[in-house]
Amino acid sequence: MLLRPRNIPEVWWISAGAGSLVAFGLLPLRSAGHAIAQGTNVYLFLTGMMLICELARRYGVFDWLAALAITHSDSSRARLLALVYGVGAVVTIFMSNDATAVVLTPAVLAAVKKQKGDPLPYLFACAFVANAASFVLPISNPANLVVFQHGMPPLSEWVAMFAIPSVLAIAGTYALLHWRFREELREAMDESSETAHLSATGKVTLASIFVMAAALLVASELKMDLGLPAFATAVAAATVLLLWQRTNPWHIAREISWSVLPLVAGLFMLVQAVRLANALVWTEAALHTLEGWHPIPASLTAAFSIGIGTNLLNNLPLGLLMGEGVQATLITGALRHAVLIAIDLGPNLSVTGSLATILWLIAIRKEGLDVSAWKFLKIGALVMPPTLLLAALTDHLIGR
């Protein structure tokens, strides 16, 4: 999946790996079916996000955001980067990191295409803020709900625990990205006379996005799964808009990246195979060992081990495994927080570290762009380690 031999899409490598587990008898067919069914909440969530994204693209929300961004940038590429990053942080916090990858990335690409210059600084801003801002709220990343599972703290307690580490992660990631692309950002942009205008259907779509964000916040506070609210909101919005415009639903459906769903199903199958191989025993033993260490080395060891692991295995399956390990060992405090921070922030190292980054990659490929694993890794190696260190240490100091 990471190297993509012959440019074969990621979904085929994940599906082939998962299928081989069944073919060689390492994963019984019944267990494979159970693993696929276990991902229902994630499938619904992703489908809802991709559907609302396609509605936003079709009915001009992306074009409106593009014109708005250019207008407020005042011909400054650095200011445009700050604007893109800030919007990405807000979208991630209130709609999840997957929404930033799926919804915001095409809007940003539409904006920068109107100007001469390299679009990659702004696209990287979308990818990195999607993970950096993903532990501000429980809904900011579905992996948060997986790690805490039945022990999800109230929203006020969550904010008290993670607000400062997450703000520092967001700020640190931005500062490093700005420094990395400082040469590209010095160039001035062309003056733009374009006026930002949103049609009536675009306003309905935008209102639907706000309704979805509110529904996800309520569902999170009630400790409900997020998949059904996201899916139901998107389907309701699509029904209203398609009936209003008398549009064939097929035109919407064919633009959605359905390959993401079998990719996620394959990841759930891999996790089930790991469970059957008793790898959770190793996870629990490692967490128990860290509990006996001094708190700072324990938190940092957990953070960097898991952070690197997300890039080898992807943070969705690793989040599932670590969530079960946390529940089994009943660990609390800074060590548990370090696990969550690493699951969310660690994927900024590689292009396949999180599902959000994979969705980001799919989104830019649809527009004729691509980013190699090596190119992403060079920037990720600059950004991820210092921000993970900063967030984990800050969380430890606050928890004392």
pLDDT recorded at residue 369: 87
Q: Domain for residue 208, yes or no?
A: no
Q: Domain for residue 326, yes or no?
A: yes
pLDDT recorded at residue 190: 66
∠ Cα 257 173 219 (to 5°): 55
pLDDT recorded at residue 135: 92
- Tokens 């390299």 correspond to 118
Q: What is the dihedral of CA 346, 352, 355, 361, to 10 degrees?
A: 120
DSSP label at residue 118: -
pLDDT recorded at residue 174: 98
Question: How many C-beta atoms surround the C-beta of residue 2 within 10 A?
Answer: 16
Positions in the chain short of pLDDT 70: 2, 116, 149-151, 190-195, 399-400
Contacts of 303 (CB under 8 A, 6+ apart): 338, 339, 341, 342, 346, 388, 389, 392
Q: Domain for residue 91, yes or no?
A: yes
Q: Domain for residue 146, yes or no?
A: yes
> Residue 107, CB half-sphere, CA atoms under 13 Å: how many?
32
Q: Domain for residue 150, yes or no?
A: yes
DSSP label at residue 330: T
3 state DSSP class of 226: coil
Q: Domain for residue 50, yes or no?
A: no
pLDDT recorded at residue 399: 63
pLDDT recorded at residue 151: 67
Q: Domain for residue 285, yes or no?
A: yes
Cα distances (angstroms) measured from residue 36 to each of 27, 85, 271, 379: 12, 35, 10, 34
Cα distances (angstroms) measured from residue 38 to each of 42, 258, 267: 9, 18, 11
* Residue 81 belongs to domain spanning: 8-38+61-197+257-399
pLDDT recorded at residue 2: 66
Q: How far apart are CA 138 and CA 152, in angstroms?
A: 8
Amino acid occupying residue 131? N
Q: How far apart are CA 98 and CA 354, in angstroms?
A: 9
Total tally of structural domains belonging to the chain: 1
Q: Domain for residue 249, yes or no?
A: no
